[in-house]
Amino acid sequence: MKTFVLALLACLNSYALFAQINTDSVVYELQRKKINGMLDERSRKFGEYDESLSKHTGIFGLQTKKDIRRSNEILMDITETDNQIFKQIKVLLDYRMFEQKQVETKKNEVETTNLNYMRTINRLREQNAKLMQEADEREKSIGKERNKYIIAIAVLIITSILLAFTRKRTVKP
């Protein structure tokens, strides 16, 4: 019965841990999708930048200031996107570290709880064994006392009978 209770508690703790990890995994996956979307956007912008570098709208096929400004604006936009990606990756990594710490903490709590249950069960087993031993000792002592009373009563009865026989013999002669 005790092992069943321990197994049940371990299952409940595992379920709670799994539910927490499952919820956290959904948030983690959403963050990853957000970063992947930003990376796709960066790739698209880099394609625009590459295309703007190849545009030459000036005389004799040269780039104009407008072409260069356009390329620089796209490049600045790519840099801003990169900075946002770095921030989101940092959030993702921080969240992953938080998840790992949370799982480690939960694992330690479960282990501590299980160890405490085991200690309590062992302590209760020891107390039970001690109480059983005390009960056996009391039973033996009660049995010894009962035997003493029985022997005392038997001695009294035999003494009474002997006294009764000896008095009858002394009175008749």
Give residue 113's pLDDT.
95
Task: Say what the pTM is.
Answer: 0.51
- pLDDT classification of 169: cutoffs 50, 70, 90: low
DSSP 62: P
Query: Which distant-in-sequence residues (6+ apart) come within 8 Å of 28 by Cβ?
Result: 92, 95, 96, 99
Query: How many of the other CB atoms lie within 10 Å of CB of 64?
Result: 13
Distance CA 121, CA 66 (A): 81
Stated as kind and residue range, the H or E segment containing 95 is helix 65-171
Q: Is the dihedral of CA 12, 18, 24, 27 positive or negative?
A: negative
Residue-range domain boundaries for the chain? 2-139
Residue 27 has pLDDT above 90, yes or no: no
